[in-house]
Amino acid sequence: MEEVKLLGMWLSPYSYRVIWALKLKGIAYEYMEEDLSNKSPLLLQCNPVHKKIPVLIHGGKPICESSVILEYIEEIWPQNSLLPCDPYERAIARFWIKFADDKGPIVWKICGTRGEERQKVIEESLEMLKTIEEHGLGDKKFFGGDNISMVDIAFGGLAYWPGVIEKVLGRNLLEAHKFPRLHAWTKNFEEVPEVKENLPDLGRLLKRET
Amino acid sequence: MAAVKLHGFWASPFSHRVIWALKIKGVDYEYIEEDLSNKSELLLKYNPVYKKIPVLVHGGKPIAESLIILEYIEETWPDNPLLPSDPYERAKARFWIQYGADQSPLFRAFFLSTGGEEQEKAAKEFSEVLKIIEEKALGDKKFFGGDSINLVDISYATLAYWFKNVEEVIGVKVLEPNTLPRLYQWAQNIMEVPVIKENIPDNDKMLAYTRLIREKILAEQLNK
């Protein structure tokens, strides 16, 4: 099998998306941690357009943008499928992955904002979480049904980031009584072995964000 | 074959994208025009998350978001493929489709710019993005898809007709033959592709609509 390398960053949820997908598929890869304040020549060469992680390098060929990488991984290594077989179900899955890309990032902004702006970001985040719980997750255990899928992976950052936000805000954004299903999902998601063994250290995350 | 319906809006390039893909694949469909100031119950039911067009409904099952719809059409009707068969080339195509989608804020900034430094900055930034697209995505190819158009061309086609109207309304040109020769030529070429040429609205009507929608948004911004 051709060599697989991942250029990533320890706190990035986009980096973890790729790690979880590779682990779930049992793909061996070399992980290279990038210092984003001093980007490697390899990163700049592999992603000249965005200069961002994650970048997957397969047999020397770079693939950029985590959602694109996930689709690539699914196509090259079809075992332990992360997308449904049915084209309609796949379209629904892709809709939610795009939602995670387009709307998900609002939660990362909570820590970086203050006062009125932070309040606005919190309100938008709660709206976003409500939409995901009602329309995306519904009564399923995972977004993928009984097993985790690319959608769960795409929302994976939501599983650990609320822990950071809780320390910063002094309250849990994903309160169990407000978001019972999503709250349960975070617990279920973090229990999946490939996820459990590949999460950023909360202590280290907190030090950075507080 | 289960019935295919498309809820669209006559002036929306996102709506046009889906029409082109369906036509290229030879799929029969029923078109339903939505009044965006008075959205149908059906639209709100089919797209509760965004409440937007286009929505494709296949056998009663709705799919929202134009790029998601395009991937669905590609998978459901594989004849006349619109994505490369090689996974790596497909990843590159998806990268560029995503890149185009990510430029919406920049495009909006240019569209709503009213003059002076603000407008110069917006035009310059948008031009730099177009330069990247020209150099790295298009290169020396006739189309992003090579000799014939693919989903990347379809996703960027807005530049070839809608954007021209934006330039006219604002009075600032960005996509010019002397600064972006290959992309400019691509824009001319894609408008000659029959399925595109025959499936865009009358340009005078679209120009008037572009002017109207810009004034409306600017007025709304002032009132906030």
All domains of chain A, ordered by start, with CATH?
Answer: 4-76 (3.40.30.10), 87-198 (1.20.1050.10)
Beta bridge partners of A31: A6
pLDDT confidence bin for A159, thresholds 50/70/90? confident
Average pLDDT over residues A127-140: 95
Dihedral pair phi/psi, residue B71, rounded to 5°: -65, -40
Partner residue facing B65 (CB), from A69, A88, A98: A98
Structure-token pair, residue B157: 């086609």
Are A40 and A9 in contact by the 8 Å Cβ rule? The answer is no
The structure tokens listed for A121 are: 């970001």
| Nearest C-alpha in B relative to A59 | B88
Cβ B63–A87 below 8 Å, yes or no? no
d(CA B66, CA B176): 28
Residues of B with Cβ-Cβ distance to A92 under 8 angstroms: 63
- Numbered residues of chain B with Cβ closer than 8 Å to any chain A Cβ: 48-49, 58, 61, 63-65, 67-69, 71-72, 75-76, 87-88, 90-91, 94-95, 98-99, 132, 136
Q: Please, which residues bridge with residue B55 across strands?
A: B7, B64
Q: Would you give the distance in Å from CA B57 to the centre of its chain?
A: 20
E strand or H helix at B30: strand B30-33
Q: Could you tell me the pTM of the whole model?
A: 0.96
Answer whether residue A208 shows pLDDT above 80: no
- A-chain residues near B98 (CB < 8 A): 65, 67-68
For chain A, strand residue ranges (E) read 4-8, 30-33, 55-58, 61-64
Mean pLDDT confidence for B158-177: 96
The answer to whether the bond into B13 is cis (omega within 30° of 0) is no
Closest CA to B155 of B93, B63, B92, B107: B93
Decide if B48 and A63 are in contact by the 8 Å CB cutoff.
Answer: no
The alpha carbons of chain B give a radius of gyration, in whole angstroms, of 18
Q: Pairing mode, if any, of strands A55-58 and A4-8?
A: antiparallel
Distance CA B95, CA A68 (A): 6
The reply to whether residue A95 touches residue B69, judged by beta carbons under 8 angstroms, is no
Q: How many Å apart are CA A165 and CA A112, to the nearest integer?
A: 11
* Backbone angles phi and psi of B73, in degrees to 5: -60, -45
Residue A75 per-residue DSSP state? H
Which tokens sit at B206? 């679209």
Q: What is the DSSP letter of A65?
A: S
Average pLDDT on A96-110 reads 92
Burial category of A156 from C-beta neighbours within 10 Å (exposed 0-12, middle 13-18, buried 19 and up): buried
A76 neighbourhood in chain B, CB within 8 Å: 87
Looking at chain A, the number of H-run helices and the number of E-run strands are: 11, 4
Joined tokens for residue B192: 């000659």
| Residue A12 reports pLDDT greater than 70 | yes
> Can you give the three-state secondary structure of B167-219, one letter per residue?
HHHHCCCCCCCCCCHHHHHHHHHHCCCHHHHCCCCCHHHHHHHHHHHHHHHHH
CA distance A62 to A45: 9
Three-class secondary structure of residue A106 per DSSP: helix
The answer on pLDDT for B213 being more than 80 is yes
Instruction: Examine residue B54 and say whether the peptide bond preceding it is cis (omega within 30 degrees of 0).
Output: yes
Confidence grade of residue A167 (pLDDT, cut at 50, 70, 90)? confident
At B223, the pLDDT band (50, 70, 90 cuts) reads: confident
Could you tell me which of A42, A46, A51, A59 has the C-alpha nearest to residue A3?
A: A59
Q: Which residue has the tokens 């498309």?
A: B6
Q: Stretch B81-104: mean pLDDT, rounded?
A: 97
Token pair 């002036």: residue = B11
Can you point out the beta strands (E) in B48-195? 55-58, 61-64
Q: What is the pLDDT of residue B224?
A: 73
* For range B94-112, the mean pLDDT: 96
Kindly report which listed range (A51-60, A201-210, B112-121, B151-160) carries the lowest average pLDDT score.
A201-210
Burial status of residue A187 (CB atoms within 10 A of its CB: 0-12, 13-18, 19 or more): exposed
Query: Tens of pLDDT along B45-66?
Result: 999 999 999 999 999 999 999 9
- Are B100 and A75 within 8 A, CB to CB? no
What's the pLDDT score for residue B54? 98
Looking at every residue in chain A, the average pLDDT score rounds to: 93
Q: Taking CB atoms and an 8 Å limit, are A131 and B63 in contact across chains?
A: no
Using the predicted structure, report yes or no on whether residue B1 has a pLDDT greater than 80: no
Query: 3-state class of A71 per DSSP?
Result: helix
Kind and range of the H or E run holding B4? strand B4-8
Per-residue pLDDT for A210 more than 70? no
| pLDDT for res A209 | 67
For chain B, which domains are there?
4-76 (3.40.30.10), 87-223 (1.20.1050.10)
Least confident of A175-179, B164-168, B174-178: A175-179
